[in-house]
Structure formats: structure tokens, C-alpha cells
Structure 1
């Protein structure tokens, strides 16, 4: 019987393992002796920090790199097919989400190998949670183009997509963070909201959402970002008929309906609601005969 492929999240910043990974994830990791990792050196340090009971030298650690070689995947999965469990561990966050692992998981499914994702941090979801933007519909775009004209076109396009109330999230190489924010402020509409989430779960964590016009009002020092991992999110004003369900105009209408319903219920004896087809006719009164024109 084949073993199981576990998807083992890693910390997204320097910090305590216990603050980022739950006990169940750590318990599962400590039962595994075979790891498929993005980079062997940093993976050894991470596995040790997670408290694996065996010396790291006794574990099997296969380096898959940032772009795994398709020709090697069957070889990596052969021990799992033979009954041994293995875990995929990326450099940061969750395997297969803006990190390598999806190709191996796809092949595991094709071979009938069970795949189990383990709970852990994802900077993308953490940024979305803290952004205040639309979490009902969102899209992750990875990295935007580097060339200035291509980047501007990509920013214009993602803003257009976001007008359907779809939050657009993307990441950038840390040393280009400040340049990315400058490009956003220069290109986007004044009322579009931009979230900058830097060093999530780290000592330098900063998560801030402002309208573009508000970002523009800040001095250059305030718009200079540290060279730390950062997630950006963009949400333009919703197009007509595309406002999110929690938008103020929807909440107002919903509140009015709720208030009217509460007043109606409170006006009835004991606050009871009428059954379908019932009316407020006095007890014993006859139902009007609408065929005779009674109202």
C-alpha cells in the first residue's frame, strides 16, 4: 500500500515555530523520515527547529529546487509508492502555493498516492485577512513584469479586474518593494485601495491599507519600504452592480430590512411570526371572497 505525501508549511519569517505551526502539524512532521525540499541547507535548519526527534543526518532529504525536474519526480515518489511517507517542504509558507510542489502533487494523484495538506501560515492569505479588502473573491498573480511598460500594463489590467470586486494580490522581490509601491501610486486611480503587507509574522511586521490618494499624501520616507518579503493587494471601487456583499450600501439596505422585520415581529403577540398564508384578521372573521370583489 502506498504511503502518504504530506504538504508541510514552513515559517514565513523569523520567529517561534510554536507561534506559526500547530501541534498536529509538528506531530505529523516528526513521524516522517523522508523530505522533498526546495533547498537542502535551509530545510535542515527548519526541520531541526521544528523538533524532529532524529538527527537531521539520519533523514532522507531530497532537494527539488524552485522548479522541480519532471524527469526526477517518479524517482522521488518511488519510496512513497513502496509504502513510505514523505513531506514536501518549501522555503516559506505552503508548498504548491507560490512555491514548488504542485507538479509532484499532481503526479502523486495520478499514481494513486494519498496527499495530505498540513496546517500552517500562508503570507498571501494572512495579508488578505488583514487587508480589509474583498475576501469573497480574490486572485493571486505571483510576480508582475519587471519591464516598466509591461508592468504598467499589468497594473492597469489588474485594477480593471478588481472593479468586479475581486481583490488582486501579488508579491515582489524585496529590493524592488519601494519601486513597486511607486508604480502603483503613479498608475492606479485615486480611490483604489492598496495594501502593503511586509514581514508578516515577523518582528518588522507592517500591514497598511490606504487609498492611492492617501499613499500620495505621505512623504517619501513613509513610502520607502524595507527590503523584506511583502505582499501587495489592490481593490478598485466596484463597478456598477459589482459591489461586495459587505459594501456599505448593501449593509444599509440589509439593516433596513432587518429593522422593518423586527418591528413587524415585535408588533405581534409575543413577537411571533405569522405562518405562510395567515393574516391579521380577527379570530372568527371570514376570509374575503376575492371573486366578489371584496378587498
Structure 2
């Protein structure tokens, strides 16, 4: 039976972000933590083993992936309760973001153990930062269903969402996914695809869905690498914010009479689901007019 040590003698679970492509993106703090912990829990021990070898680090590795996480959690908790620090890493990027680790983190917190993040690369944030789409509100939905019927149903459920939509997609499904976005959300909906983010052949495809689809088909490498799919949110007409349901202009006017312009736009965005930046520009236009 594991004897629980006082809190100050228990280990820390570090959630360590690792490169999604470019090894120079690994932070000095991440290297130090990986060097100092007693054990590393890795999604794929072979993959993480190569990274550690590159860094000159030798540590015991425990495989922790979607198929064994529940069975491995107690063993890792035992290490932590005994006072050993543990690092959690995924194959690439930030653990738990469409990667294993949720069960471990939840159980570690339930035990009162210290869980601390070591921030670093994350494909969805990296792609969003360079996409040129609104980022004041975005909705990350991981991977869409593999089958077309499920994928289209998921997209239909999000069709009226006004926040920027973000998905991950595999190379062998990317063309079909873009076609489904066009079918459900219309060929004019703006889309940005980030392929091989931070790697040698990093590529962004952007424009209307129909244009992006054509660009993928023309690119001989268009079905290679990992993709981040970003879709501009619905505008007010697509979202059902039409006359008779909500008078956005009147709402903005009432808020601007009592509040600074930026604050009025922020509150209007929260109430309507529309883009804060777009509403702020709209408010400025009102003032100018």
C-alpha cells in the first residue's frame, strides 16, 4: 500500500510541451524539467526516446496513450505520491490538446498533487496566430468524425457558430473535409489551412473554400503532412441574427451612450456572439457618421 507523504514531500506532475516540428522551439525550461524529473510518461516511447536522445537525456519512460491511460494512471500516481517528479509529454505539441493525459491530470488533482504546465508549441495556436482570421473568439473541436456522414453532421451543428472554427485533420482526409465544408457552409466561406506548421515545408492555403480546394488539388504535396483547418465564423445573417430577432445597431447605440466604445463593443459581442473586432469597427463607423 502506498503511503501518502506530506504535500511538500510529494512529486510534481509537469505537463511539458514539445516541438511540433522545429526542435529549436523546445524551451530551456522544458529541457531542464525533462533532465530533472525521475520518470517521463510519453504517448509513444519510441518517438519521445528519439527526442531525449537528441537532447542527451536518459530517463525511464512509461507509455501513456489513449488505449492504456486508465490502467497506467495509478502507477504514475504512486511515483508522485512517493516524492518523484514526473513529466508528461505527447508525440508533439502540448499534451491533452487532442492528445492523452486528461485522466492522469484529473486524478493527480483529485489526489491533491501539484500539476504545473511547461508551456510551448501548440499547433492550433501557432496556426491561428498566422491565419489572418478573427481570434478574439475561437472554437477548437479536435478531429472531425472520419466518416462523411458524421463529419457533415458535425459541421452542420457548427454552421451558425460565429466564432472562428478550428479542427485538426489527417492528410488522407483533408480534401474530403474541405469538400464537406463547402457543401455544408457554402463555397464562399473563408478557410485557412495550415500544413506542416514550423516544419521545412510549412504551407498556408487561404481563401474561399472552393479556392482552397482547388489549391490543394493543384499542389502535389497537398495531401501530405498534418493539417490545422480554420474556418471563419458565420456572419450575422448566417447565424440567424436578422431583423426582428436582434437589432444589433440599436444595441450598440444604447451601450455606446453609457460606455466607452471598446467596452460597448465587447459587451455587444458577448450578447450577440458576433466578432468583437467587427462590432468595434461598426461602433467607430457610427461615431464617425
TM-score normalized by the length of structure 1: 0.76
Question: For each residue in 1:75-116, what CA deviation from the matched residue of structure 2 results, as whole angstroms up to 9, or x when unmatched?
Answer: 122111111101001111111111001110111101111011
Q: Which runs of 5+ in 1 are unaligned?
A: 261-295
Partner of 2:127: 127
What is the match of residue 99 of structure 1?
99
Q: Which residue of 2 aligns with 1:6?
A: 14
Conserved 8 A contact 2:69-2:104? no
Residue correspondence of structure 1 range 177-192 to structure 2 within 5 A = 177-192=174-189
Q: In structure 2, how many angstroms separate the alpha carbons of the residues matched to 1:233 and 1:218? A: 16
Corresponding residue SS for 2:180 = helix
Matches within 5 A, 1:122-201: 122-161=122-161, 165-201=162-198
Residue 220 (1) aligns with residue 251 (2) = no
User: CA–CA distance in 1 between the matches of 2:214 and 2:51?
Assistant: 42
Give the CA deviation at 1:222: 4.5
Tell me the residue number matched to 2:60.
Answer: 60
- What's the CA shift for 1:148? 2.0
* Residue 70 of structure 1: how far off its partner (Å): 1.7
Residue of structure 2 equivalent to 1:210? 207
Rounded Cα–Cα distance in structure 2 between residues aligned with 1:48 and 1:10: 14
What number of residue pairs does the alignment pair up?
247
What's the counterpart of residue 47 of structure 1? 52
Paired residue for 1:246? 277
5+ long unaligned stretches in structure 2: 1-8, 242-247, 249-272
SS of aligned partner of 1:88 = strand
Alignment deviations for residues 204-254 of structure 1 (CA, whole Å, 9 cap, x no partner): 11123312254366583149723201010112342134431212x632532
Q: Aligned partners of 1:156 and 1:70: how far apart in 2? A: 33
2:142 aligns to what SS in structure 1?
strand
Q: Alpha carbons of 1:67 and 1:137: their partners in 2 closer, same or farther (altered >3 Å)?
A: farther
Q: Quick check: 1:31 aligned with 2:36? A: yes
Larger Rg: 1
Aligned mates of 2:233, 2:74 — CA distance in 1: 45
Q: Which residue of 2 aligns with 1:290?
A: none
Q: Distance in 1 between matches of 2:203 and 2:68?
A: 33
Q: Which secondary structure does the structure 1 equivalent of 2:160 belong to? A: helix
SS of the residue corresponding to residue 117 of structure 1 reads strand
1:232 aligns with 2:229: yes
What do the CA deviations read for 1:39-64 (whole angstroms, capped 9, x no partner)?
A: 11111111222342xxx2xx211111
CA contact (8 A) 2:69 2:103 kept: no
The root-mean-square deviation of aligned C-alpha atoms, in Å, is: 2.3
State the SS of the aligned residue for 2:61: strand
Query: Which SS does the other structure have where 1:24 is aligned?
Result: helix
Once structures 1 and 2 are overlaid, which stretch shifts more, 165-174 or 62-71? 62-71
Q: TM-score, normalised by structure 2?
A: 0.77
